[in-house]
């Protein structure tokens, strides 16, 4: 079975619209060519786009050892945020995963539960009411502070953390330009785009090194994620080097705050449009005290809240695509894929497959209740899949449950927009997260 390809000329013709938002281009070509198609990128390069569930599960799960993160992440992104879990491959990735994963088990996260709740409580207190507000910066600040406090439990270092947030957002915009316009690499090199972004990344590393050195010189136990990472040991008894620590912490900041901020913004927007769902969620969390409830019990108790989160991430997955490169020849479903074949996996399209999800464009948290099918679960990738599934998924889910709970307990939310518009960068952001809040009388 031959795979259809889009010409490089076609890509150039659509370059401007692809840079602004590639999803309509993906949708149009999936509809025209089927679940997998290719695109020529010039200079002999090409990429395969897929929303074929069988192929996706083959790449991410069944034959995952044959598929590495592509140079889009392992080189283009890594040159700015380092060689951490998100960007590394092979034995090094496995070694880091085994070291870091235990810090994010539910039981281990109990140590930072109080920090998470305190930050969220503070950020949601006294939000503007009875006026139009933009959720996205509010959720971005909240999520960044949750990650920052959970990592560093800082007090006097708020300016440093705020600067890290600025740099993270600027680097993301720069990286997405490079990823979507690979044919302009030499121009980005000549015009200073790459060197300027590298300067920002270097500044971020310096800030983190200063914070880590300050902690290493301290004899206090701070009960945060940095303590866990500093005390984690490899099989030979050694610890991470300074560069390794910085790489992993940068990844946690970039991936840990951005994706959560987007999911929270989309989730609250959807609830603002759906008063029945909003009221049902409020009834569930009305009497819950998150400070007293363990993380495990929060997951068990807040079932409808979790369904609202799941449905949000189905419609608007923050990590709306992923990429892989075949390190050896492979065969799947009578198609031969040569070593070096690069795949872009569209989770956004998989989550909206009408053959799997009834009325896929409709927000319906109940679809994640008891009636959820095995087929639907195998077509659902909110945190990726397989061995490279997001290490911080428990952390993110708990944070979202608490934010939904504490926000809806205090405020009723009304939309100040007609339709949700999206802004696909490295992650999927909302463009118009305008709502108004009304204080609840409790």
What rounded mean pLDDT belongs to the chain? 90
More confident residue, 86 or 404: 404
Average pLDDT of the segment spanning 60-84? 88
The percent of residues in the chain predicted with pLDDT above 70, rounded, is: 98
Average pLDDT of the segment spanning 210-239? 87
Taking CA atoms, 87 is separated from 1, 81, 97, 254, 382, in Å, by 32, 8, 12, 12, 19
The percent of residues in the chain predicted with pLDDT above 90, rounded, is: 62
Q: How far is the C-alpha of 8 from the C-alpha of 25, rounded, in Å? A: 14
Q: Flag whether pLDDT at 1 surpasses 70.
A: no
What is the reported pLDDT for 306?
97
What is the reported pLDDT for 139?
95
More confident residue, 173 or 244: 244
Average pLDDT of the segment spanning 304-310? 98
Q: Give the predicted TM-score (pTM) of the model.
A: 0.91
Owner of token pair 């705050």: 257
51-439 carries CATH number 3.40.640.10? no
Least confident of 229-238, 340-349, 403-412: 229-238
Categorize the per-residue pLDDT at 256 as very low, low, confident or very high, splitting at 50, 70 and 90.
confident
Q: Flag whether pLDDT at 333 surpasses 60.
A: yes
Q: Flag whether pLDDT at 156 surpasses 60.
A: no
What is the reported pLDDT for 71?
83
What is the reported pLDDT for 114?
92
Q: How far is the C-alpha of 242 from the C-alpha of 223, rounded, in Å? A: 20
Spatial CA neighbour of 6 closest among 184, 23, 28, 16: 28
The DSSP secondary-structure symbol of 70 reads P
Owner of token pair 């959807």: 270
What is the reported pLDDT for 286?
93
Average pLDDT of the segment spanning 11-38? 88
Q: Flag whether pLDDT at 154 surpasses 70.
A: no
Question: For the range 187-191, what are the long-range contacts, defined as Cβ-Cβ under 8 Å and sequence gap of 24 or more?
Answer: none
Q: Flag whether pLDDT at 187 surpasses 80.
A: no
Least confident of 88-102, 182-196, 384-398: 182-196
What is the reported pLDDT for 441?
77
Categorize the per-residue pLDDT at 46 as very low, low, confident or very high, splitting at 50, 70 and 90.
confident
More confident residue, 313 or 71: 313
CA angle 336, 342, 345 (to 5 degrees): 100
More confident residue, 39 or 19: 39
Q: Flag whether pLDDT at 328 surpasses 70.
A: yes
Spatial CA neighbour of 435 closest among 409, 407, 406: 407
What's the count of helices (H) and strands (E) in the chain, helices before strands?
Answer: 20, 13
More confident residue, 363 or 7: 363
Q: How far is the C-alpha of 265 from the C-alpha of 434, rounded, in Å? A: 9
Sequence ranges of the domains in the chain: 51-439
Q: How far is the C-alpha of 171 from the C-alpha of 173, rounded, in Å? A: 5
């Amino acid at each position: 079975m031959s795979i259809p390809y889009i010409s490089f000329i076609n890509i150039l013709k659509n370059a401007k619209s692809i840079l602004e938002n590639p999803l309509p281009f993906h949708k149009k070509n999936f509809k025209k060519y089927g679940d997998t198609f290719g695109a020529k990128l010039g200079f002999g390069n090409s990429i395969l786009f897929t929303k074929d569930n069988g192929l996706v599960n083959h790449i991410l799960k069944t034959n995952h050892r044959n598929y590495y993160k592509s140079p889009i992440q392992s080189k283009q992104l890594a040159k700015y945020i380092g060689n951490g879990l998100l960007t590394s491959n092979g034995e090094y990735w496995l070694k880091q995963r085994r070291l870091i994963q235990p810090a994010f088990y539910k039981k281990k996260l109990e140590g930072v539960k109080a920090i998470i709740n305190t930050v969220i409580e503070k950020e949601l207190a006294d939000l503007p009411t009875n006026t139009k507000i933009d959720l996205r910066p509010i959720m971005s600040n909240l999520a960044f502070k949750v990650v920052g406090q959970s990592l560093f439990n800082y007090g006097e270092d708020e300016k440093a953390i705020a600067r890290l947030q600025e740099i993270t957002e600027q680097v993301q915009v720069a990286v997405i330009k490079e990823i979507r316009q690979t044919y302009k690499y030499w121009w980005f090199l000549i015009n200073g785009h790459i060197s300027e972004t590298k300067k920002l990344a270097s500044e971020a590393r310096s800030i983190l090194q200063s914070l880590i050195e300050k902690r290493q010189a301290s004899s206090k136990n701070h009960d945060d994620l940095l303590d866990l990472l500093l005390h984690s040991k490899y099989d030979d008894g050694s610890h991470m080097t300074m560069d390794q620590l910085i790489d992993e912490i940068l990844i946690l900041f970039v991936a840990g705050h951005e994706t959560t901020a987007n999911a929270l913004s989309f989730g609250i927007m959807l609830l603002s449009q759906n008063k029945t769902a909003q009221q049902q969620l409020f009834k569930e969390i009305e009497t819950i005290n998150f400070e007293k409830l363990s993380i495990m019990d929060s997951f068990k108790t807040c079932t409808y809240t979790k369904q609202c989160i799941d449905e949000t991430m189905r419609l608007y997955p923050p990590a709306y695509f992923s990429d892989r490169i075949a390190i050896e020849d492979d065969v799947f479903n009578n198609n031969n894929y040569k070593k070096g074949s690069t795949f872009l996996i569209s989770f956004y399209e998989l989550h909206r497959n009408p053959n799997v999800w009834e009325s896929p464009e409709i927000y319906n948290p109940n679809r994640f209740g008891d009636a959820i099918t095995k087929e639907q679960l195998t077509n659902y990738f909110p945190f990726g899949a397989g061995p490279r599934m997001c290490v911080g998924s428990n952390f993110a889910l708990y944070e979202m449950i608490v934010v939904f709970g504490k926000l809806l307990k205090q405020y009723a939310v009304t939309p100040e927009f007609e339709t949700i518009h999206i802004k696909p960068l490295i992650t999927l952001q909302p463009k118009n997260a305008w709502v108004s809040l009304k204080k609840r009388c409790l």
